[in-house]
Chain A
Amino acid sequence: MTDYRKKLSEIVPSENLVTDKVDRVAYARDLTPYFAVSDAIVFPTTREEVIDIVKLAADENIPITPRGGGASFQGSSLPVDGGIILDLSRMDRILEISNEDMVAVVEPGVRYETFDHELKKHGLTFPHDVGSHDAASIGGILASDSNGHHAYKYGRVGSWIQAMEVVLADGSVMELGGRPPRSNMGFNLMSLIAGSEGTLGIITKATLRVIPRPPVEASVGAFFDDLDDLIDASLAITMSGIEAGTLEATDGYTVETINDVMDFGFPECEANFVGDLQGYSEEDLQRKIDVITSILEEHGGKQVTVARDDAGVRRLWAPRMEIDVAVMETNPGYREIGFAAADPCVPLSKQAEAMREIGKIIRSHGLIAAVFCHTGIGIIHPAVLIDPQNRDHWKAMKQSEREIIDYVQSIGGVLTAEHGLGYVRNPYVREAIGDKALNFDRKIKEIFDPQGILNPGKMGLDREERDEGIEFTFPAYVEDKEIWE
């Protein structure tokens, strides 16, 4: 045991410090191609332990990577420089749920669905419907300023934080916000911490705004011969003011593949629409259903279907949710990889064009692509499935990534709107946000973390490359320098 690991053992009980190689390996991977092994995983259970661990890391100049559920898609919680993984999953208490103040106070390790299930008992919800479900921790969600499936209706998570307790890189504690629903007192540091991916501080407690839980819900699906008609319908739904939870599109390849594997009898189409609706009464929900189904039919939607039971809802959402399973069934050994073009965002008027073009780019390189779009908010998700033992696939994926990012930026879109920058996007940060903004970001990082110990290697803050000084999960992986230099 190295000297600092011995000191860690003096801060937390032995069961909350993990140093065995087999366990450190289990924490070395996420959805990205990288394999980063830490020296130790430490599980604080109190704010005081977090403070002591951070102070030790500062004294010893050891990198410290905060981790919640480890569900990052861009390498945000990988310990790319080794050091300590600060696993907050055992700080998982829901400290308070208040119907009177419409807030919940939670520790960072609380899982999303566990939290929402507890809120349900109080007639409340934290309504974002985070896609990683219980794999995602509240701390990770806040640090990533996540969207969730219902971002169309409720926005990003960051604006739902009313108060926050943050342990800074020197071990001091910063309290932000409070119990009142609104405050306007200078710079909004909570917004800075939300989305900072653990590079500025470690969230040890948060007070979150919650809302009454809609008691009834439904999903609505339809198929379109022309993707432009789907996008027009989506805009018309938005303009109707019915406030759907989410509006989604998947491409024709996805529908066809799901049909082949699951035999749902979907019609041939260019695109599939699916959305969900929440209501505070049956009448409220029915009114929304009537509006949305009329709009879908008026815009040429086929097989317009409403589902409220589990089986019906699953069928409607299958193209969106089960495509990975379907592709793996027909292509054993293939898997999705978290790549830098996983969640660009384009102007609403460019969605149809961008979905087609992004799919075309990926397929032109011989790869399997299933393209989705959150049509209410312009975020496009190209799921690329590759054989990770095939070098040509890795090369094609990187070429696709570059071309997609160039294309998206050429039509006024942005690099990412959901998963954050993490490690995977280091090479793209400067061009995406510009020299001026990146310099400001780095100055902010310097103020918060002058030693650079908090989650190093992320967001372009201390490097603009990836693939350097890191191991790869797959031997066939093709490094950037092999393609671009």
Chain B
Amino acid sequence: MAIEEYEHVIMECVSCGLCQSNCPIYKETKLESNSAKGKMTILYALLQGWLDWDEVAGRMYECTTCKNCQATCLSGLDIPSVVEAARAELVEKGYGHEVSKQIAENIRETHNPFGENPKKRNRLKELAEA
């Protein structure tokens, strides 16, 4: 889904900052561009043409999409869906994250996101049982 389709969500963010305290990334970095509030401002600026896709890419990948921000949002906004839509568009525009590319490659080649042999899947279970 194109990011434009989420414009109303981006508009609805009132920048109150209640999302900050629950965000695992923000708590680590104390950087507004890592909070949901900051991301909505960044995406708003992108939609207005004040920022380009290549400028926003890095910050859009710094999100766990854990939905903690949604749980504390004054407006109940589904921020992770907006971030995921932005990421989908970033991939289309050629700004996919290197780690994501590697995971996709691993799944294609080994059917395992970590590139491990699928036959090892039960190893941890066996270890635990032992």
Contact residue among A21, A43, A109, A335 (Cβ-Cβ distance under 8 Å from B55):
A21
Residue of A nearest to B19 (CB): A135
B66 at the interface (CB under 8 A from A): no
Return chain B residues, CB-CB under 8 Å to A239. none
The complex places the Cα of A25 from the Cα of B40 at a distance, in Å, of 10
- CB-based contact A132/B16 at 8 Å: yes
A199 at the interface (CB under 8 A from B): no
- CB-based contact B16/A135 at 8 Å: yes
Return chain A residues, CB-CB under 8 Å to B48. 475
In residues 1-39 of chain B, which contact A (Cβ within 8 Å)? 7-8, 11-18, 20-21, 30-33, 35, 37-39
B118 at the interface (CB under 8 A from A): no
- Chain B proximity of A144: nearest CB distance (Å): 14
Contact-residue bracket for chain B: 20 to 34
- CB-based contact B51/A22 at 8 Å: yes
Residue of B nearest to A27 (CB): B32
Contact pattern, A 311-329, Cβ under 8 Å of B = 1, otherwise 0: 0000000000000110011
A417 at the interface (CB under 8 A from B): no
Main secondary structure of the interface of B (DSSP, over half): helix
The complex places the Cα of A29 from the Cα of B35 at a distance, in Å, of 13
Return chain B residues, CB-CB under 8 Å to A446. none
A90 at the interface (CB under 8 A from B): yes
Apart from A25-B42, A26-B41, A335-B11, 5 more pairs, CB < 8 Å: A22-B51, A25-B50, A29-B41, A113-B21, A325-B74
Return chain B residues, CB-CB under 8 Å to A325. 74-76
Residue of A nearest to B50 (CB): A25
A89 at the interface (CB under 8 A from B): yes
- Chain A proximity of B28: nearest CB distance (Å): 12
Return chain A residues, CB-CB under 8 Å to B20. 69, 134-135
Contact-residue bracket for chain A: 35 or more
Contact residue among B12, B32, B38, B51 (Cβ-Cβ distance under 8 Å from A21):
B51
Contact residue among A89, A109, A328 (Cβ-Cβ distance under 8 Å from B75):
A328
The complex places the Cα of A71 from the Cα of B20 at a distance, in Å, of 11
The complex places the Cα of A188 from the Cα of B33 at a distance, in Å, of 39
Return chain A residues, CB-CB under 8 Å to B17. 69-71, 132, 135-136
- CB-based contact B56/A90 at 8 Å: no
A111 at the interface (CB under 8 A from B): yes
Residue of B nearest to A336 (CB): B14
- Chain B proximity of A472: nearest CB distance (Å): 10
The complex places the Cα of A339 from the Cα of B69 at a distance, in Å, of 25
Residue of B11, B17, B21, B44 most packed against chain A (CB within 10 A)? B17
The complex places the Cα of A474 from the Cα of B126 at a distance, in Å, of 59
Residue of B8, B32, B74 most packed against chain A (CB within 10 A)? B32
